[in-house]
Amino acid sequence: MAAGNLKIQVLDSADAVAAAASEFVIKAIAAKPKFVLGLATGSTPEKTYAKMAEANKAKKVSFAKVTTFNLDEYWGLDGDHDQSYRYFMNDRLFNHIDIRPWNTNVLNGAAVNPMLECAAYEQKILACGGVDLWLLGIGANGHIAFNEPGSPVDSRTRLVSLTQSTIDANSDGRFFKVAADVPRCALSAGIGTIRESRQIILLATGAGKADAIKAAVDGPFSPDCPASLLQDHPDCTFFIDKEAAAKLS
């Protein structure tokens, strides 16, 4: 299925989404070992990361020459905090694969100067030759990274405020236990930063993502649904399960 430039792969289950996404990443790295891989956090990619780690253990892929950049980090949490995205990535992926820790980049949520931190991140992406493939999730309100509705198409890495719906979604017990503990701000790659990736894959599973997927695929190209701003990307594939695809026309 294709909507505009988007390629849509509807799969039977969340497991099938993880299998397809990890295969996609593994093939891309096989074709270019010195790969620059963009990564996301959240529940959705966890199974994909487990499959990537399994493949690494089985020597089907090596991350030894791969450099990674993560999308975002909570403002005010340092990497040792168990809800920081640095901690998440170490725990779910980096500690289980042969990647060199110094080649993994996550924005520093405890940086003294957030503007400098964000500008340096953009510079580092450029210095690495740009991102080859960025793996994304999607929020129930259509956000990508922490680019909430209204984020400009040309936005760059910056300090952003989180919406109440995102704070609530991330404090439903999977991550934070109560909304009061969720930082109100984050450092996030911009929509412009993400759109410059040579390839993009977006993963979505479950009925809770059906409205966001509908708006991203069938809706207008609009900052009202940040994921819709991927519609004109030259090489972007959505891997979604049947439940997330349920409202597509």
Q: Would you tell me which residues interact with ligand GLP (CB under 6 A)?
A: 40-44, 71-72, 137-139, 145-146, 166, 170
Nearer to ligand GLP, 45 or 219 (CB): 45
- Min dist CB 202 to ligand GLP, Å, is 9
For ligand GLP, the closer of residues 122 and 168 by Cβ is 168
Q: Classify 173 in phi/psi space as left (phi over 0), alpha (psi -120 to 50) or beta.
A: left
User: Strand pairing of 67-70 and 158-161?
Assistant: unpaired
Q: What phi, psi does 48 have (nearest 5°)?
A: -65, -45
- 60 or 177, CB closer to ligand GLP? 177
List the one residue out of 25, 138, 43 whose CA is nearest residue 85.
43
Told to judge if 141 belongs to the known catalytic residues of this protein, a careful annotator would answer yes
Q: Tell the smallest beta-carbon distance from residue 39 to ligand GLP (Å).
A: 9
State the minimum distance, in angstroms, from the CB of residue 231 to ligand GLP: 18
d(CA 48, CA 203): 9
Q: CB-based contacts of 207: which residues, under 8 Å, 6+ apart?
A: 243, 244, 246
Among residues 66, 50, 40, which one has the least CA distance to residue 18? Answer: 50
Contact 226, 151 (CB under 8 A): yes
Which residue among 73, 105, 108, 143 is the active-site one? 143
- Cβ distance to ligand GLP smaller for residue 31 or 180: 180
Residue 38: both structure tokens together? 């963009």
Q: Which of 73, 117, 148, 241 is catalytic?
A: 148
81 is catalytic: no
Indicate the SS3 state at residue 249.
coil
Residue 109 to residue 242: CA distance in whole angstroms = 35
Tell me the closest approach of the beta carbon of residue 9 to ligand GLP, in angstroms. 17
Output 41 or 104, the one with its CB closest to ligand GLP.
41
* 80 belongs to the catalytic site: no
Residue in 72, 73, 196, 241 annotated catalytic: 72
Q: Is 196 a catalytic residue?
A: no
Least spacing, CB of residue 114 vs ligand GLP, in Å: 16
Active-site position among 105, 141, 147, 170: 141
Please identify every residue annotated as catalytic. Answer: 72, 141, 143, 148
